[in-house]
Amino acid sequence: MEKRSVDVVVISDVHLGTYGCRAKELVAYLKSIEPNILILNGDIIDGWQFSKRYFPSSHMAVIKELLNLMMRGTRVFYITGNHDELLRKYVDFQLSNFTLTDKLVLEIDNKMTWIFHGDVFDNTTKGSARLLAKMGSSGYEMLILFNRFVNFILKAFGQEKLSISKRVMAGVNKAVSKINDFEMIAAELAIEKKYDYVICGHIHQPQHRVVETEKGKVTYLNSGDWVEHLTSLEYHQNKWTIFEYDEKKFQHTTIDMRATPNVLTDEINFYINSLAI
């Protein structure tokens, strides 16, 4: 597959280290693009559900492909989320064309874009509600496994796939959004700061809409996730679009599952082990 040149790509909520992660599909997507800037907008590695007993080669292949992009000149920003919050003590770390941060403001074609994960406005990830959020995350993992079993049966009988987990997640997100409405808060703050765009992740719901108040307007975008929706945001030819993965277009993509080069193995394993402590 010929690589597509893209100005900016935003990916969030990959949840490497969990059974729900669609790592192979993400590797195929990363192999298809050549972005100038790649923004990893939180929850890339899932520290909440992480276990050293489960980090398959396909998940390591995602990290390898990200490193390949950096070596080819892509500038990578890693914005921390709530599931990879352990990295927040290292924010402002920078090495070559890699930057770790908790928020980002970019000027793209004379438009100001504010990018952050979004959990800062979600009260369910803070205080006493944090434990319930972690329990809910574990339940979601079990639901995904059950969903895959159901789809295996449906496929055997020639039926279409059913996304039980997506429907449940959508219902949860509606409730959370109703209580916290963090999208609106983010948009209102962006309007006050006179940003043109505000980009979040966190709720696993891809979105592209204009929010307008009496003080002005802003374009709100959400990159979705690589668990259910398999989406990202792409900026090219002066506009933002939502990319949706179509397995039919990537069925001939070859994915290299060989081990990551030894020069990087120790550093990657150190981070993986620290998550499992």
- pLDDT for res 152: 56
What's the CA dihedral at 205, 186, 212, 242 to 10 degrees?
A: -30
- In the chain, domain spans: 4-275
> Rounded to the nearest 10 degrees, how much is the dihedral formed by the CA atoms of 143, 144, 149, 152?
140
Q: What is the pLDDT of residue 135?
A: 44
Model pTM score: 0.78
pLDDT score for 54: 79
* Sequence-ordered list of residues with C-beta below 8 angstroms from that of 57, at least 6 positions apart, any chain: 257, 259
> For the domain 4-275, what is the CATH code?
3.60.21.10
Token pair for residue 61? Answer: 């292949």
Would you give per-residue pLDDT tens digits along the chain (277 residues)?
689 999 999 999 999 998 889 999 999 999 999 999 999 999 999 877 766 677 899 999 999 999 999 999 999 999 999 989 889 988 989 999 999 999 999 999 999 999 999 988 765 555 444 444 454 444 555 555 556 555 556 566 676 665 655 555 555 555 444 434 778 888 999 999 999 999 999 988 899 999 999 999 999 999 999 998 999 999 999 999 999 999 889 987 777 666 444 444 455 554 555 555 4
Positive/negative CA dihedral, 83, 87, 88, 93? negative
Instruction: With beta carbons less than 8 A apart as the criterion, state whether 248 and 214 touch.
Output: no
Contacts of 151 (CB under 8 A, 6+ apart): 161, 162
